[in-house]
Structure 1
């Protein structure tokens, strides 16, 4: 700050030094003016000017130091009170800017909330005709047509469900309800939803649940499993998907293993990134890049650790490691 202060006042300092040099020069060329007293006077002037600069430095930089040290937010309470007219101008300008930014942020937040509410309302409205469509498809006699329409219906259903949970993810903490959850019930419900798709692709399930119950939120756990099972079915051919659970060091482990195409090693660190699809099959327009991202976000809120192992042509294994019971104290507070 000292360097900045000197640079700011350099024109004043240079003017004072030039004045003193001018006085010495005049005394030097004019023999009628005694040089020694002039030098003494210049020395006293320089001393006083230096003391003046030191005093003014602390007084004039207090406001600017508070600006430099403040956090990058819209809180102006940490700024020192302005003393000079220029400092008052700066404070007024900043206050006006902050007020405008707060007003704009408030308006944008309201618009975003309205957009989110409108989208959620639209999703719920669409679910009604979608349910009716599913019932109508079930009454078709043409099995081939029924299979194709059911598959397309399922795609729309899963995309709407993904959108619904994407809007709820930022507020997931308000929606959590921890309870003893039966894994078998959740898994069979999700498999039932994907049944027509699995039959079409010739995919079966091998379920081995040594640990049948976990402490978690049933709705969000179902959403996580839905994303993993959807991916497993989507990228697998006629084969069995293995779903097994077991206890390890007091923790429940749930694995979902498929025999599909696998994931390229260079893609593994990025599969949970928002919007990431694939580098090997980048032309796959059916992929949204949101399923695993949302599943990971939900799992973090449930304190579930998600791990993945995969190799090209050898399938993929997703592992969910559930937390110990006492780890939920920070979520439930009990």
Structure 2
């Protein structure tokens, strides 16, 4: 800050040095002016000027230091009190800008909330005809048509479910209810929902749960499992999907392993990025949101996600659940 202050006051310093040199020059060329006396005066004025700079530094810099450390939020409480007229202009301008931004923020937030509510309402409205459609499909006698329609129905259902959770993810902290979640019924339910798709692709499941309960939120845990199983089925063909749970270093570990086409090494670091889809096997229908939402939900639930994959050899998603005492922050939300 000292360097910046001196640069800011460079014109003052140059003006002072110029006047002192001018006095010396005049005393040098005019023999009537004693050079020693002028030198003494210059020494005193230089000392006073240095003291003046030090005093001004302590007066002026606190405001700008606080402005530099200010996080740019809408709260101006962190900015020091303005003393000089220029500082007051800066602070008043910031206050006016902040007030305008607050109004814009509130307006946009209300509009966003309204859009979210409208979309959620629409999704819930669509669920009624979707349920009716599912019942109608179940009553069909033509097994081939039944299987095709069930698959298309499932695709729509999964897209609606993903959209629903995408809108809820921003407020997940308000939607968490942490408790003991039994894994087996949750996994069996999600497998059953994917049954028509799995039969069409010749995919089976092997479930081996050494640990049958985890501390988590049942709704969001079901969503995470649903997305991982959907991905596994989507990129597999005529193979097994293995789901295992175990204890490791005092933590529950859940694995979902498929033997599908795998993930290219260059894509692996980006699979949780919003909107990212495979570069080696582009899928026009993919939204690139599934794993992004999984990562965000897992982070809120303190679940670590590890991914291992080899092209052509399948992919393994590993969920590492937190220890019980780590849930204090979650249960206190």
Q: TM-score, normalised by structure 1?
A: 0.88
Q: Per the alignment, in what secondary structure is the counterpart of residue 146 of structure 1?
A: helix
- Please list, as runs of the form range in 1=range in 2, the aligned pairs for 1:248-259 lying within 5 A after superposition: 248-259=248-259
Cα distance in 2, alignment partners of residues 213 and 28 from structure 1: 94
Cα distance in 2, alignment partners of residues 94 and 169 from structure 1: 33
1:245 Cα deviation after fit: 3.1
- Please list, as runs of the form range in 1=range in 2, the aligned pairs for 1:1-150 lying within 5 A after superposition: 1-150=1-150
1:161 Cα deviation after fit: 0.3
Per-residue CA deviations over 1:94-142 (Å, capped at 9, x if unaligned) read 2111212222222222222222112211211111222222222233333
Alpha-carbon spacing, 1:214–1:77, altered in 2? closer, same or farther (3 Å): closer
What CA RMSD, in Å, does the superposition of the two structures yield over aligned residues?
A: 2.6
- Is the counterpart of residue 157 in structure 1 residue 154 in structure 2? no
Alpha-carbon spacing, 1:261–1:75, altered in 2? closer, same or farther (3 Å): same
Which stretch shows the higher mean deviation, 182-191 or 302-311? Answer: 302-311
1:169 Cα deviation after fit: 1.8
Cα distance in 1, alignment partners of residues 53 and 77 from structure 2: 28
1:158 Cα deviation after fit: 0.1
Per-residue CA deviations over 1:44-71 (Å, capped at 9, x if unaligned) read 3333333333333323334333323433
1:285 Cα deviation after fit: 1.1
Cα distance in 2, alignment partners of residues 54 and 138 from structure 1: 85
Which stretch shows the higher mean deviation, 223-232 or 75-84? Answer: 75-84
Alpha-carbon spacing, 1:11–1:217, altered in 2? closer, same or farther (3 Å): closer
Cα distance in 2, alignment partners of residues 193 and 52 from structure 1: 79
Cα distance in 1, alignment partners of residues 130 and 329 from structure 2: 39
1:213 Cα deviation after fit: 3.1
1:329 Cα deviation after fit: 3.3
- Please list, as runs of the form range in 1=range in 2, the aligned pairs for 1:120-269 lying within 5 A after superposition: 120-269=120-269
Runs of 4+ in 1 over 6 A off after TM superposition: none
Which stretch shows the higher mean deviation, 39-48 or 224-233? Answer: 39-48
1:250 Cα deviation after fit: 4.6
Alpha-carbon spacing, 1:164–1:39, altered in 2? closer, same or farther (3 Å): same
- Is the counterpart of residue 299 in structure 1 residue 298 in structure 2? yes
Which stretch shows the higher mean deviation, 76-85 or 155-164? Answer: 76-85
Unpaired runs of 5+ in structure 2? none
Per-residue CA deviations over 1:210-252 (Å, capped at 9, x if unaligned) read 4333333222221111111111111111223222334445543
Alpha-carbon spacing, 1:237–1:78, altered in 2? closer, same or farther (3 Å): closer
Cα distance in 1, alignment partners of residues 80 and 308 from structure 2: 56
1:31 Cα deviation after fit: 4.4
Unpaired runs of 5+ in structure 1? none
Count residues with an aligned counterpart.
333
Cα distance in 2, alignment partners of residues 22 and 326 from structure 1: 75
Which stretch shows the higher mean deviation, 230-239 or 157-166? Answer: 230-239
1:32 Cα deviation after fit: 4.5
Which stretch shows the higher mean deviation, 113-122 or 172-181? Answer: 172-181
- Is the counterpart of residue 316 in structure 1 residue 315 in structure 2? yes
Cα distance in 1, alignment partners of residues 244 and 132 from structure 2: 35
Per-residue CA deviations over 1:175-228 (Å, capped at 9, x if unaligned) read 222333332211221122111111111222223334333333222221111111
Q: Per the alignment, in what secondary structure is the counterpart of residue 245 of structure 1?
A: strand
1:35 Cα deviation after fit: 4.3
